[in-house]
Structure 1
Amino acid sequence: MYPLEKGFPEGFLWGGATAACQIEGAYDVDGRSLSTSDIHRYEPGLNRKELVENEHTRASLAAALKDQEAYFPKRHGNDFYHRYKEDIRLMKEMGFNAFRLSIAWPRIFPQGDEAQPNEAGLAFYDKVIAEVIANGMEPIVTMLHYDIPLNIVALGGFKNPQVIDYMVHYGETLLKRYAGKVKYWIPFNQINLIQYCGFKSLGLVTDGSDNFEEAQYQAIHHQFLINAKLKEIAKSLDSENQIGIMLADCTFAPRTCKPEDVTFAMKRNRMQYFFSDVALRGAYPGSMLRYFNEQGIEVKITEADQTLLKNNTSDFLAFSYYYSRTVDAEKNTMDAADITENPYLTGNDWGWTIDPLGFYYCMSQYWDRYQKPLMVAENGFGYEDLFVDGTVHDQYRIDYLREHIKAMKEAVKDGVEVMAYLPWGPIDLVSSGTAEMSKRYGFVYVDFDDLGRGTGNRYKKDSFDWYKKVIASNGEEL
């Protein structure tokens, strides 16, 4: 018999994932400036199945900054800034041995381009990371998770090549500060999700360029260079440092077995694999260069850029998986946000389909393509929980996560090297897409509503004890 994994390996990382812009709050404390997430206002009565993209023009950005009437939930989060010790203790109680968090760039460099960091901001993360380690968890840190300082937006966002130096300086500051404490780093959250997050992740306003798509890809190229530069710096500081690239899984399935649908899905998948191809293989794929030519997109790529990318490929692939996507050659375009409903799947109130086999499929494809360790950096499902008698009976969340862990185990049995499972939002937080608190993910209920009203107290849901057993059994007791 051939030696194969029968379950999750010893030392597998079990935990959860969060983002500073969705949990911390304290947006005006200790010199922090506003970020691209801080101007995402809550829209009462929104249509949950229509994603709130929060993209901006120059005028809408200026209006949001002047708005004194609306509620901006991401400025307040779930108050992790003041309650981090309590939250980390709850994670320890569940048995976490890993915790993915992000650091807010505007806490460290409020304008994004300063020469010296804000020590008050660093002092906060000194305490958080120390608390994570003291409670037996491996800190996994994202450097930029949708909170670009607004001054960087004013400079043209990541389209501006000067911003390369600014973020490398920020990243190097973190690498040096937390040397020997943080091993796993993700410079950019979901680097490929530009169809929804051009403002939050690239710092671009939609009317800031004559060719917005070209501006997006130039900005992405600059992020690739930053990722490579930080890999180079990280390894020079400590050979054990690991730098990852992160995708939001956008693997597409054909709507039917018609050759046109199958081929169209393949082409759409290439558009998504492009982001990890550059970071993990070190070069732009020919299919993407052809797309640039046919669309009249000119990305400035120098020989020095090509050498940097080739010599500094990422160590692992982190990805988020929530639901699967289907495309139809007749109905859909090459726009990554343009998808077709899958009639074989059901979803939640936000239209996200439940597809554990899609989870198994996507990680299998990533492994076959790259042969690099995989980190499940996010997995979960938003629900409007019913809080009764001090808890939430969330069997639906348990069912969702159980089936996805089963699917992940099948990939492990195939020989796929999965290093961590970090479900999204272990403690309720503000939704990235809709800015709702009522779109809940956590094992812990937080008593805040969509307008920030409530005590902020934490309560264990039924899924809390379930996940505790999963971790204690290393994924055997589901």
Structure 2
Amino acid sequence: MDIYFLILGIFIYLNGVDSKSKARKFPQNFWFGASSAAFQIEGGWQEDGKAPSIWDVVVHSEQSPVKDHSTADVAADSYHLYKKDVQIAKELGLSFYRFSMSWPRILPNGFADRINQIAIQYYDNLLDELIAHNITPIVTIYHWDLPSNLQKLGGWTNPLIINWFLDYAKILFDKFGTKVKQWITINDPKEICHGGYGSTSKAPMINMPGTAEYMCAKNILLAHAIVYHAYDEQFRRVQNGMIGISISFRWFEPSSSSEDDHQAAIDAKMFDWGIYTNPIFGIGGDFPLEVKRNVRSKSAEQNYPWSRLPELSTVEVGTIRRSADFLGVNSFTTKLVYRDASVDGMYPVPSYMDDMGVVLVKDPSWTQSIANWSPVPWGFFKLLVELKNTYDNPPIIVTENGWPTRGGLLDEDRISYLRRYLNALLDAVDEGCDIRGYSVWSLIDNFEWFKGYTEMYGLYEVDFTSPEKTRTPRKSALMYKEVIKTNILDPDYEPEKFLVEAP
């Protein structure tokens, strides 16, 4: 394996991926943004009629799974301080701000029988503030905060959620569609389905591996597609907007040149993200053949009379296929993959990981983040090129990419990460990838799910101990501001003023 890594490193160097050091221009009219999510920044968890989400329920449980036992009850208090967030976006010169709206804030019952007008006014005010400062809003309809009432009925494993989600989305289109021209239906389906239903890594922690995540996947794809078609048929002509989906992606590199490891990498890609991208962007639609084959075979071995992966009917395949105007790419890292006999018995049976049937590892020489993953910009480049070649070069907005720290304003590691990944992005543009924009995760520090406040991703540091939740720019914020201002990635730029003034 060591020889393989050496050869791979030489190949990467000679081919220029992650090796360019000169200043490079972005395409004309390239969009730069930053992202956030309602549950992670808003706070106001019981204010003005908001009902609990599945995340509120989990973080307030007697045995909280949150690392520092914190909650998002206040978080960055953006429910009250949204104007500060918009001011930050203006200071940076952002083209767009990507944020999500809270389903349980807008529809406290989960259903469309009662609309919370105070919540409607809150988001209307936020949109007006952004538009007044020439910042384009990109709105995520669902970023994980399902109303807890709906989870009592099965949440994303209940097919009726397709209609519940449609009702919610149509309210957003009706109330905000004249101001929002870019919509994202759902963020990170894998984290919702595998994390929340097939394991305990995300709310609602159902932990029914090998069954629940596949039920969830089918319902999420259909919910996304039905909302897309509703927008297309009822709102697009008047509102003239676009609608897409954001999916989390990792690149999977074979650990050797063997045929087994090559196939292992393909299987990993198809289980990790192809299960969501292939039905929407694939030429023939439907779940990937690798996923259908593996789950069917494993199900038979385990004495199931049917495949644990629900089928998509011909009508459903047609409904889901091409149901997006753009692809949102959330990507942070890369994994090495190999196939080995040791994989048998490594994972629970049944489970998504057992169905995938591969071993995922990291090169021990790679730098490791505090979140236990590594920066691998050449993997980001390969991913973007693969999406271009596999899915007929869809329009892409990189909707999440960033680096965690413990805090502090001099975040050189974040600057290095962003520069290297932006450099890889430009390499992909040179390869013909249709990449329209890039958004840093995240605009400000936030409640980082089960990591609480132990990991900080913000361009701006938030003092969570202060009543004002003071926002302070990190060095990375000034680096990113210069990229936006000049439309140039300059590896030699140093914000000297920050170095002098920073405490």
TM, length-normalised to structure 1: 0.85
Picking from 11, 18, 25, the partner of 2:43 is 25
In structure 2, distance between residues paired with 1:349 and 1:476? 26
In structure 2, distance between residues paired with 1:190 and 1:116? 27
Shift of 1:178: 1.5
Deviates more, 1:366-375 or 1:263-272: 263-272
In structure 2, distance between residues paired with 1:219 and 1:348? 30
Q: Deviations over 1:6-60 (max 9, x none)?
A: 8422221101010001000000011111112224439xxxxxxxxxxxxxxxxxx
- Is 1:439 aligned with 2:455? yes
Deviates more, 1:7-16 or 1:439-448: 7-16
In structure 2, distance between residues paired with 1:85 and 1:179? 21
Closer, same or farther in 2 for the Cα pair 1:463/1:306, shift >3 Å? Answer: closer
Write out aligned runs for 1:32-181 (5 A).
32-41=50-59, 63=62, 71-181=69-179
Shift of 1:422: 0.4
Closer, same or farther in 2 for the Cα pair 1:338/1:165, shift >3 Å? Answer: farther
Q: Deviations over 1:346-392 (max 9, x none)?
A: 11222110111111111111111111011110000101123xxxxx1
Contact residue 110 and residue 149 of structure 1 kept, 8 A = yes
Unaligned 5+ residue runs, structure 2? 1-23, 300-306, 492-503
Contact residue 202 and residue 220 of structure 1 kept, 8 A = no
In structure 1, distance between residues paired with 2:139 and 2:159? 24
- Is 1:382 aligned with 2:401? no
Picking from 322, 327, 334, the partner of 1:324 is 334
Closer, same or farther in 2 for the Cα pair 1:375/1:144, shift >3 Å? Answer: same
Picking from 297, 306, 320, the partner of 1:309 is 320
Contact residue 145 and residue 201 of structure 1 kept, 8 A = no
Deviates more, 1:86-95 or 1:293-302: 293-302
In structure 2, distance between residues paired with 1:29 and 1:200? 28
Q: Which residue of 2 aligns with 1:407?
A: 424
Deviates more, 1:159-168 or 1:274-283: 274-283
In structure 1, distance between residues paired with 2:380 and 2:251? 9
Contact residue 395 and residue 435 of structure 2 kept, 8 A = yes
Counterpart amino acid of residue 470 in structure 2: N
- SS of residue matched to 1:122: helix
Shift of 1:313: 2.1
Write out aligned runs for 1:194-213 (5 A).
194-198=193-197, 206=206, 212-213=209-210
Shift of 1:453: 6.5
Contact residue 251 and residue 380 of structure 2 kept, 8 A = no
Closer, same or farther in 2 for the Cα pair 1:260/1:298, shift >3 Å? Answer: closer
- SS of residue matched to 2:333: coil
Closer, same or farther in 2 for the Cα pair 1:438/1:298, shift >3 Å? Answer: closer
- SS of residue matched to 2:129: helix
Deviates more, 1:33-42 or 1:16-25: 33-42
Closer, same or farther in 2 for the Cα pair 1:298/1:416, shift >3 Å? Answer: closer
Q: Which residue of 2 aligns with 1:45?
A: none
Write out aligned runs for 1:184-263 (5 A).
184-193=182-191, 194-198=193-197, 206=206, 212-236=209-233, 237-239=235-237, 240-263=240-263
Shift of 1:270: 1.9
Deviates more, 1:220-229 or 1:198-207: 198-207
Q: Which residue of 1 aligns with 2:494?
A: none
Picking from 280, 299, 319, the partner of 2:310 is 299
Contact residue 127 and residue 137 of structure 2 kept, 8 A = yes
Q: Aligned residues, how many?
A: 438
- SS of residue matched to 1:213: coil
Contact residue 96 and residue 138 of structure 2 kept, 8 A = yes
Write out aligned runs for 1:330-341 (5 A).
330=340, 331-332=342-343, 335=353, 339-341=360-362
Q: Which residue of 1 aligns with 2:12?
A: none
- Is 1:429 aligned with 2:442? no
Picking from 18, 34, 51, the partner of 1:16 is 34
In structure 2, distance between residues paired with 1:328 and 1:64? 37
Closer, same or farther in 2 for the Cα pair 1:224/1:415, shift >3 Å? Answer: same
Shift of 1:447: 0.6
Contact residue 275 and residue 291 of structure 2 kept, 8 A = yes
In structure 2, distance between residues paired with 1:248 and 1:80? 25
Contact residue 244 and residue 316 of structure 1 kept, 8 A = yes
- Is 1:471 aligned with 2:499? no
Shift of 1:320: 1.0
In structure 1, distance between residues paired with 2:442 and 2:489? 22
Q: Deviations over 1:430-467 (max 9, x none)?
A: 113412x231111211111xxx6665111121122211
Q: Deviations over 1:186-211 (max 9, x none)?
A: 1111112333333899976536xxx6
- Is 1:366 aligned with 2:387? yes
Q: Deviations over 1:258-306 (max 9, x none)?
A: 3322221111112221210112233233333223322231515344323
Contact residue 250 and residue 325 of structure 1 kept, 8 A = yes
In structure 2, distance between residues paired with 1:111 and 1:251? 39
Contact residue 13 and residue 420 of structure 1 kept, 8 A = yes
In structure 1, distance between residues paired with 2:209 and 2:376? 33
TM, length-normalised to structure 2: 0.81
Contact residue 158 and residue 204 of structure 1 kept, 8 A = no
Write out aligned runs for 1:281-296 (5 A).
281=282, 282-294=285-297, 295=299, 296=307
Q: Which residue of 2 aligns with 1:350?
A: 371
Counterpart amino acid of residue 374 in structure 1: I
In structure 1, distance between residues paired with 2:51 and 2:243? 27
Contact residue 202 and residue 216 of structure 1 kept, 8 A = no
In structure 2, distance between residues paired with 1:270 and 1:465? 38
Shift of 1:316: 1.2
> What stretches of structure 1 move > 4 A for 4+ residues in a row?
199-205, 331-334, 452-455
Identity %: 26
Counterpart amino acid of residue 280 in structure 1: F
Deviates more, 1:293-302 or 1:267-276: 293-302
In structure 2, distance between residues paired with 1:201 and 1:188? 18
- SS of residue matched to 1:247: strand
